[in-house]
A and B are shown apart, each in its own frame.
Chain A
Amino acid sequence: MAETMLDEAYYKLLHDLQAVDFVLVELNLYLDTHPGDEAAIAQFNQYAELRKRIAAQYEAAYGPLMNFGHSMSKTPWQWKEAPWPWQV
């Protein structure tokens, strides 16, 4: 419940990640019904690469984004630390 003090840089990086992820969700759904669109697939792959870079930057600064081994942890175990998404 404790609202961690997060700086402006946190919200900027989170916003960048949400923006690139929005592009990927949109392209993903579009490709589900337009599987032959080569340009859209190229764009999807390009943004998937960009996504990896932004997520790595976010995790280095603010901890793991995903559970079950999709993100690494420092010691002590970082995953269980607040803030959770509804607390920021």
Chain B
Amino acid sequence: MFVYEKKLQYPVRVSKCDPLMAKFLMEQYGGADGELAAALRYLNQRYTIPDKVIGLLTDIATEEFSHLEMIATMIYKLTKDATPDQLKAAGLGAHYAAHDNALFYTNAAGVPWTASYIQAKGDPIADLYEDIAAEEKARATYQWLIDLTDDVDLQDSLKFLREREIVHSLRFREAVEILKEEQDRKIFF
């Protein structure tokens, strides 16, 4: 089961109202390589992955939900004081028409999240390689997002998230090696 902890994994501070940056950040909220996709991808792959890596998938999936909450906090704080005119000027007029100031799972271009962003092949190596690729794509996206803002407070939180993608990628690579070793043992004994 899941329990909630009433705190962010890492502080999120923003220094100004910036709906345009909020729009860009939606890429990591409801985009193909975003945190929602990551959390749901790993959680769903757990059931058919070998026992040796179920723990890792569970833990990284759980951490991704904490990152989803951090991204939501960024978007919320960057837009909560924005007027409809400011949202419209930032390219969020269509978002406002459908959602007011509510958050919604879309990418930066406003395309709603879809399950076709994630895979579950049932083949452990194929699944883990997808996970590694997803982490590397998310890392790259965080770099582009850092480049898109001059808000040092926001950059600080985004840098934390970028580093987490690197660690997750490393752990998934180790998981691949663990499964390969296990496979080799089965062949020889």
Contacts and interface: CB of A to CB of B under 8 A. Distances in A.
Contacts of A25: 9, 59, 63
B96 interface: no
A40 interface: no
A68 B10 CA distance: 23
Task: Please classify the interface of chain B as helix (H, G, I), strand (E, B), loop, or mixed, using the class held by over half of its residues.
Answer: helix
Interface of A: 14-15, 17-18, 21-22, 25-26, 28-30, 32-34, 64-68, 70, 84-86
A85 B73 contact: yes
Interface residues of B, number: 27
A84 B72 CA distance: 12
A86 B22 CA distance: 14
Chain A facing B: main interface SS = helix
A14 B60 CA distance: 22
A18 B10 contact: yes
A34 B56 CA distance: 11
A15 B168 CA distance: 23
A66 B4 contact: yes
B162 to A, nearest CB: 15
Given A32-B59, A64-B6, 4 more contacts: A32-B55, A32-B56, A66-B5, A86-B8
Interface string B69-110: 100110011000000000000000000000000000000000
A15 B5 CA distance: 15
Q: Which 9 A-B pairs have the closest CB atoms?
A: A33-B174, A86-B73, A32-B56, A85-B8, A32-B55, A67-B4, A86-B76, A29-B171, A68-B3
14 contacts: A18-B9, A22-B10, A25-B9, A28-B59, A29-B59, A30-B171, A32-B55, A32-B59, A65-B6, A66-B3, A67-B6, A70-B3, A86-B73, A86-B77
Contacts of B69: 85-86
Contacts of A18: 7-11
